[in-house]
Chains A and B, each alone.
Chain A
Amino acid sequence: MKFAIVSLLVLGACVGDSDPRWQLDHDHVVAVRASPPHLASGARATLDALVAHAGAPTSVDAPVEVRTDDGMLGSTIQADGTVLAPDLATLAQVRAARGLAADAPVPLRLITTFGADAKVATKTIYLGDTGGNPAMPTPTLEGAALGEEPITVPAATDVALAIAVDPTWEVAWLSSCGTLHDDDLPDAVLRVEPDDPQAGELAVVVRDGHGGVAWQVWPIATAP
Chain B
Amino acid sequence: MKQSSILASVFVLVFAAPRARAQPAPDDGVTAPLPMGDAVAATGRVVDARGKPVRGATVALEGATATAITDRAGRFTITAPLGAMLVIDAPGYETGLAGVTGPALDDLVLLTVGETTEVVQVDGQAPVVAAGAASLDRTELARIPGTGGDLVRSLTIMPGVVNTQAPTGFGGIVIRGSSPEDSKILIDGFEVPLLYHSLGFRAVLPTEAIDTLDYVPGGFDVAYGHAASGIVSLTTRAGAGHRSAQAEVSVIDGGVLAQGALGAKTRYMVAFRRSTIDLVLPYVLPASLDLSLTTVPRYYDEQVRIDHALTPHWDLSLSSIGSDDLLELYSDKAENPDKRFYSRTRFLRATAAARWHDGPWLATLATSGLLQEIDVEIGADQYLKVTPDTWTTRAELSRTTRATAGLNDLTLRLGGEAAVGRAGLELALPQQPREGDPGGTMGGPDGFADDTDTRFTGKVWSPDFAQWGTVTAGLSKDLHVSGGVRVDELQRNRAVAVQPRGELRINATPHTVVRFSAGAYARPPENQEEYLHDDLGFERATQLIAGVEYQPSAPLRLQGSIYYTDRARLITRDAMGTLGNWGTGASYGAELLGTYRAAPWFVWLSGSFSRSTRVDYPGAAERLFDYDQPVSINAAASWKHGKWTLGGRFQLYSGKPSTPVIGATFDSDANTYDPIYGATNSDRAPMHHQLDLRIDRTWQWGAVTLTGFLDVQNVYLNQSVAGYAYSYDYSEKLEFTSLPIIPSIGLRGQL
Contact = CB atoms under 8 A, between A and B. Distances in A.
Interface of A: 1-16, 18-21, 26-29, 31-32, 49, 111, 119-124, 170, 172, 181-182, 184-185, 187, 189, 205, 207, 211, 213
B732 A18 contact: yes
B297 interface: yes
A21 B199 contact: no
A165 to B, nearest CB: 14
Contacts of B671: 31, 170, 172, 205, 207
Contact of B669 (A3, A15, A27, A211): A211
Nearest to A185: B336
B407 interface: no
B433 interface: no
Interface in B12-40: none
B443 interface: yes
Contacts of A28: 666, 729, 731
Q: Chain B contact residues: over half helix, strand or loop, or mixed?
A: loop
Given A21-B729, A29-B668, 19 more contacts: A1-B447, A3-B4, A3-B341, A4-B4, A6-B199, A6-B329, A10-B277, A12-B738, A12-B742, A13-B739, A15-B737, A31-B671, A122-B666, A122-B669, A124-B669, A181-B290, A182-B332, A182-B333, A207-B671
A185 B337 CA distance: 11
B236 interface: no
A23 to B, nearest CB: 9
A121 B668 contact: yes
Contact of B739 (A14, A27, A124, A205): A14
Interface in B663-719: 665-669, 671, 674, 713
Nearest to B674: A122
B576 interface: no
Interface of B: 4-6, 165-167, 199-201, 277, 281, 284-285, 289-291, 297, 329, 331-334, 336, 338, 341, 440-447, 665-669, 671, 674, 713, 722, 725, 727-729, 731-732, 734-739, 742
A7 B166 contact: yes
Nearest to B669: A124
A182 B736 contact: no
Contacts of B441: 1
Contact of A32 (B200, B668, B713): B668
B727 A19 contact: yes
Contact of B734 (A16, A111, A181, A185): A16
A15 B442 contact: yes
13 contacts: A3-B4, A4-B447, A5-B442, A7-B5, A7-B167, A11-B165, A14-B738, A15-B736, A16-B735, A32-B668, A181-B290, A181-B333, A185-B336
A10 B297 contact: yes
A133 to B, nearest CB: 12
B737 A14 contact: yes
B728 A21 contact: yes
A13 to B, nearest CB: 5
User: Which of A7, A49, A119 counts the most chain B CB atoms within 10 A?
Assistant: A7
A182 B446 CA distance: 11
Contacts of A20: 443, 728
Contact of B668 (A122, A181, A184): A122
A15 B725 contact: yes
Nearest to B441: A1
B2 to A, nearest CB: 8
